Amino acid sequence: MAISYLTKEGYKKLEEKLNTLIKVRRKEIAEKLSHARSLGDLRENAEYDAAKEEQAMNERKIGELSGKLSSIQIIDTMDIPADQAYIGATVKLSDLNTDEKLEYTLVSDAEADFMEKKISVNSPIGRGLLGHRVEDVVDIEVPAGVIRYKIIEISR
């Protein structure tokens, strides 16, 4: 299994999600199964079938998250240059085409969440920003064309 890199925050989120699946969802599903069993004949019991399917899906998610967590290496931002855009950095940008100001945090694929302005270092924009410094002008090719950014600030 390949090693995945996560920030401490990202690792903690995945751990919390796994704990919720194990401690909360398993209990909820067990209660649904118990209720469905109490209804009688299991061969024609749609509630029982649905609960069993939900249980299988939950166990699959638990397995996937456990596997992910076992192959994670937590990123120590102390070893990463503070003046360059690398994983864990928050980068403030100016879009030179529209004068719009943007801010993204560069994260691993597992932590990426566009709604939280966290973009993967493997996305076109993330890859384009990697290694650059404040005042650099970066041309990034995306499916819609070329975006031109100026890096205003980098923070950790």
List pLDDT tens digits, range 122-141: 899 999 999 999 999 999 99
Burial class (CB in 10 A: 0-12, 13-18, 19+), 105: buried
Name all domains of the chain by residue range, CATH numbers in brackets.
Answer: 4-74 (1.10.287.180), 77-155 (3.10.50.30)
Distance, in Å, from the CA atom of 12 to the CA atom of 114, rounded to the nearest integer, reads 19
List pLDDT tens digits, range 52-107: 999 999 999 999 999 888 888 887 666 677 789 988 899 999 999 899 999 999 98
Q: Quick one: pLDDT at residue 43?
A: 77
Contact indicator for 112, 121 with CB cutoff of 8 Å: no
23 compared with 68, residue with greater pLDDT = 23
Axis crossing angle, helix 46-70 with helix 26-38, rounded to the nearest 10? 160
Place of tokens 């076109």: 124
Place of tokens 């819609």: 144
Task: Give me the percent of the chain exceeding a pLDDT of 90.
Answer: 56
88 compared with 1, residue with greater pLDDT = 88
Q: Quick one: pLDDT at residue 92?
A: 97
Q: Quick one: pLDDT at residue 75?
A: 77
Total H helices, total E strands in the chain: 4, 7
Distance, in Å, from the CA atom of 70 to the CA atom of 86, rounded to the nearest integer, reads 23
Q: Quick one: pLDDT at residue 150?
A: 96
**Pure H helices in the chain:** 8-20, 26-38, 46-70, 124-129
In this prediction the pTM is 0.65
